[in-house]
A and B are shown apart, each in its own frame.
Chain A
């Protein structure tokens, strides 16, 4: 099987009294093993609900979600699903439980019923992977936001998942913390082959993804490689999003008479394209 997750014809509704709010509509999507997908969408577009459907925290009202071929509706397979798909949320403070970093990381594998010696090994490896091994005996409460979030990710890695879903993991972090998390996520994907599904409001975090999905009103409005998504500033703006500041600059330069290739997302690429354009103007 090539896909780790298949979402088939899913509709999901929240009900409160007599009111029904549909947040995911006739949704079909598959995530290939080892892929890195970024999901964009305005507040209220259904991104977080989708995330919670992917590891069985929510069950679809209509349709099915399969994780590694297992239907998330199947209650007796709950552990098998959680073992395969881990979730990381926005606020690191809400995800850390123990008073010592390594106890926190051990919580997941303990719940999976892993043998104690194996847990020791997994916890050490997970902390080394996120570069927090030196902090294993510390209290998580005295760490920075980026460090706390890396501990939360270590707790997920210790369960050895095939896929990690991250719901705005950098929203509350400072620039350094954001970079630490994005670097960690990209490394997990590249070096460990873990499938990454990253939900974010920071357009530039999509620059190294294999695929970007844009959601609006519970549906997919675009599904393509990052370069193609960010070419389409009009579409992004129409759904409350925007292009990254780098791409925005290139588009604006083009409109102001400097013929520059706008196909760049990273800062280095953008500087390169501007340099080329200026050189061809004889500067």
Chain B
């Protein structure tokens, strides 16, 4: 089966005809399988946001192609609107784009534009709220009465209500408190699990990436520096730190223990992994002694 999303030799040049000419994305190729969660990490200015804005046709490649289910998304430029319904993009700070009088209207806005009406629309909104754990009491509230974290969730629900096959998030947890971060991560996992949707997430939070991503794309100065399983990417701490990134705090702790001579073989990415490995070590190699 063809990958759901394929990026082939994508280059995007800003200010091409000026002295400020700058390749924000430079010859990037990768493909994403249906149902995966792919994290995109990279220093500020590495081209992450420019890259993802191509994936639903908001930006046009200077050169290269984007294939969705094997077909070039620009094959028929007039049909780009259909692409945008199938590939959802959640911008940074999406709560700044809430504008309706009620939470209900805000969540309904996207599916309504796709032609959903009456009972169907109502069902879609309530189903989305159920799935994402958004209290029905919220639906009649003004989105502006909600806290920052709640607004963020409503804004994301508005995109999920369109049921895109692929959903892309640009820093969905930036600026949220720890509980807000957990809630958004849970929403994303729920959406993927319910619809076997494909998810791409840009984030600077290595701990959350370790938790949620199946594979990671590492961007550096406009180029794709690495695309591998999350485990493999985080096993090279030096490479990541050289390009301005890092590994999760638990991974650093375990690396320090390894350098102190403790015999831990596993690559540790999450607290669960670390607890398991350390308890096993304590019990002389058995996880349950």
Chain A residues close to B by CB (< 8 Å): 41-44, 90, 144-146, 168, 171-178, 201, 203-204, 237, 240-242, 244-246, 248-249, 252-253, 256-258, 267-268, 270-271, 274-275, 278, 281, 283
Contact = CB atoms under 8 A, between A and B. Distances in A.
Nearest to A172: B174
Contacts of A44: 147-149
B178 A258 contact: no
Contacts of B137: none
Given A145-B45, A258-B278, A278-B278, A42 B179 contact: yes
B178 A175 contact: no
Given A240-B180, A245-B271, A275-B257, A171 B262 contact: no
A241 B182 CA distance: 10
A177 B249 contact: no
Given A177-B244, A278-B262, A42 B180 contact: yes
Interface string B163-205: 0000000010011111111000000000000000000000010
How extensive is the interface on chain B, given as a class? 35 or more
Nearest to B43: A174
Given A145-B44, A281-B282, 17 more contacts: A42-B147, A43-B148, A43-B180, A44-B148, A145-B45, A168-B175, A172-B44, A173-B204, A176-B244, A177-B43, A203-B178, A248-B271, A249-B271, A252-B271, A252-B275, A275-B262, A278-B282
Given A42-B180, A249-B250, A176 B245 contact: yes
B114 interface: no
Interface in B43-61: 43-45
A176 B282 CA distance: 34
A86 to B, nearest CB: 21
Which 10 A-B residue pairings sit nearest by Cβ, starting from the closest?
A43-B148, A44-B147, A176-B244, A145-B44, A271-B256, A242-B178, A240-B179, A175-B246, A245-B249, A42-B177
B248 A283 contact: no
A249 B274 contact: yes
Given A240-B177, A246-B249, A174 B257 contact: no
A201 B256 contact: no
26 contacts: A42-B177, A42-B179, A43-B147, A44-B149, A144-B44, A146-B44, A168-B175, A174-B245, A175-B206, A175-B246, A177-B44, A177-B244, A201-B178, A240-B178, A240-B179, A241-B178, A242-B178, A245-B207, A246-B250, A246-B253, A249-B271, A249-B274, A249-B275, A252-B271, A271-B260, A278-B262
